[in-house]
């Protein structure tokens, strides 16, 4: 058995990276029964289960994760060998499923995805933008391969930083604070404040920074809670109050002179942005390649 060729590695890798025999069958253009039969044949040969089955989804066992590393390398080397022999480029296709919170989704991912599409034009990219907690849920449910958020979290998620961000207090043109250079936390607490919704990484970072100064976020005069940085920015521009937003989110308005950042004594809200993935699953090739394209911090 030690020298016998392992069959159906392409089917095994496809099912492992999609987390579903049904999805693998669609990708391979075969029946689900055919995928099940191939996996059963491979498991019979190696005499150990490679997948745990539950609720229509599949997850790799320890043996399956070990095999996937080798199988992925075998398939990649096979594709490289064909390319070397025929002169044909290695083709990468499939889906890249992403979920992002507001700041990375609107201000970091678009540029990274544009560069990625130039390298892998046949990959279909699908990205959703929501709050941080929803991103964690999406990745843990297998609805997205990678998530992009303002803080690590999730019981089953691995993470690494991919960018940095800074939160700043912004006021609209014509506001009494427009000509101010610095303010105190007490000044901020007395002012109508437009806040991100609960579950937002930006909100969590700001509240933690406020607590470090001895201030309490419960004392803020919150007049609106909105579900995205863009909505908060629009409310501030409309005169609803002031807000703390990502510097990246207000760069254009600051340059245009419609918003102005004002420093708050003792309050700093610098943070890292993180990419997260579920350690219980293997990353599909498009996701693995996109992860490799992200700049180190």
Q: Given pLDDT bands bounded at 50, 70 and 90, which one contains residue 215?
A: confident
- 39-70, pLDDT tens digit by residue? 999 999 999 999 998 877 888 999 999 999 89
Do 54 and 110 lie in one domain? The reply is: no
Do 267 and 286 lie in one domain? The reply is: no
Do 78 and 109 lie in one domain? The reply is: no
Do 123 and 250 lie in one domain? The reply is: no
The pairing of strands 157-172 and 94-101 is unpaired
How many Cβ atoms from other residues are within 10 Å of residue 64's Cβ?
Answer: 24
Q: What is the pLDDT of residue 93?
A: 82
* 2 pLDDT above the threshold of 70: no
Do 184 and 51 lie in one domain? The reply is: no
Q: What is the pLDDT of residue 112?
A: 94
Rounded to an integer, what distance in angstroms lies between the CA atom of residue 201 and that of residue 55? 31
Radius of gyration of the chain (CA): 24
SS3 letters across the chain: CCCCCCCCHHHHHHHHHHCCHHHHHHHHCCCHHHHHHHHHHHHHHHCCCCEEEECCEEEECHHHHHHHHHHHHHHHHHHHHHHHHHCCCCCCCEEEEEEEEHHHHHHCHHHHHHHHHHHCCCEEEEEEEECHHHHHHHHHCCCCCEEEECCCCCCCEEEEEEEEEEEEEEEECCCCCCCCCEECHHHHHCCEEEEECCCCHHHHHHHHHHHHCCCCHHHCEEEEEECCHHHHHHHHHCCCCEEEEEHHHHHHHHHHCCEEEEEECCCCCEEEEEEEEECCCCCCHHHHHHHHHCCCC
Do 65 and 199 lie in one domain? The reply is: no
26 found inside a domain: yes
For residue 246, the domain's CATH number is 3.40.190.290
4 found inside a domain: no
Do 155 and 137 lie in one domain? The reply is: yes
For residue 46, the domain's CATH number is 1.10.10.10
Q: Given pLDDT bands bounded at 50, 70 and 90, which one contains residue 199?
A: confident
Do 45 and 69 lie in one domain? The reply is: yes
Do 194 and 237 lie in one domain? The reply is: yes
- 135-185, pLDDT tens digit by residue? 999 999 889 999 999 889 888 999 999 999 999 999 999 999 999 999 999
233 found inside a domain: yes
- Comparing C-alpha atoms, which of 10, 68, 155 is closest to residue 60? 68
251 found inside a domain: yes
1 found inside a domain: no
2 found inside a domain: no
* 1 pLDDT above the threshold of 60: no
Among 63, 86, 109, residue at a domain's last position: 86
36 found inside a domain: yes
How many Cβ atoms from other residues are within 10 Å of residue 120's Cβ?
Answer: 18
Do 267 and 278 lie in one domain? The reply is: no
Give the rounded percent of residues in the chain with a pLDDT score beyond 90: 67
Q: What is the pLDDT of residue 60?
A: 92
Domain containing 76 equals 9-86
For residue 125, the domain's CATH number is 3.40.190.10
Query: Looking at residues 106-121, what average pLDDT do you find?
Result: 93
Q: What is the pLDDT of residue 239?
A: 95
Among 28, 61, 86, residue at a domain's last position: 86
Structure tokens given for 60: 């790799």
Rounded to an integer, what distance in angstroms lies between the CA atom of residue 45 and that of residue 6? 8
CB 173 within 8 A of CB 258: yes
Do 253 and 168 lie in one domain? The reply is: yes
Total domain count, the chain:
3
* 296 pLDDT above the threshold of 90: no
- 266-286, pLDDT tens digit by residue? 988 989 999 999 988 888 889
Do 35 and 176 lie in one domain? The reply is: no
3 found inside a domain: no
Rounded to an integer, what distance in angstroms lies between the CA atom of residue 280 and that of residue 59? 7
């Amino acid at each position: 058995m030690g020298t016998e060729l392992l069959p159906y590695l392409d089917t095994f890798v496809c099912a492992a990276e999609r987390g579903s025999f049904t999805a693998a069958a669609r990708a391979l253009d075969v029946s689900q029964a055919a995928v099940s039969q191939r996996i059963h044949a491979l498991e019979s040969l190696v005499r150990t289960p490679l997948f745990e089955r539950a609720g229509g989804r599949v997850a790799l066992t320890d043996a399956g994760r070990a095999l996937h590393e080798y199988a992925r390398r075998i398939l990649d080397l096979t594709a490289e060998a064909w390319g070397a022999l025929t002169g044909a480029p290695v083709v990468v296709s499939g889906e890249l499923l992403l979920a992002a919170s507001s700041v990375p989704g609107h201000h970091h991912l678009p540029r990274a995805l544009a560069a990625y599409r130039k390298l892998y034009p046949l990959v279909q990219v699908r990205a959703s933008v929501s709050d941080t907690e929803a991103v964690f849920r999406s990745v843990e449910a297998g609805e997205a391969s990678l998530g992009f958020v303002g803080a690590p979290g999730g019981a089953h998620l691995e993470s690494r930083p991919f960018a940095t961000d800074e939160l700043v207090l912004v006021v609209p043109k014509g506001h009494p604070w427009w000509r101010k250079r610095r303010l105190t936390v007490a000044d901020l607490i007395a002012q109508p404040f437009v806040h991100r919704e609960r579950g937002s990484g930006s909100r969590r970072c700001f509240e933690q920074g406020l607590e470090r100064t001895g201030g309490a976020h419960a004392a803020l005069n919150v007049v609106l809670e909105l579900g995205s940085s863009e909505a908060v920015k629009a409310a501030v521009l409309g005169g609803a109050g002031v807000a703390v937003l990502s510097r990246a989110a207000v760069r254009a308005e600051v340059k245009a002179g419609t918003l102005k950042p004002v420093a708050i004594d003792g309050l700093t809200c610098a943070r890292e942005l993180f990419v997260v993935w579920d350690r219980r699953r293997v990353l599909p090739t498009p996701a693995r390649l996109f992860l490799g394209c992200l700049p180190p911090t």
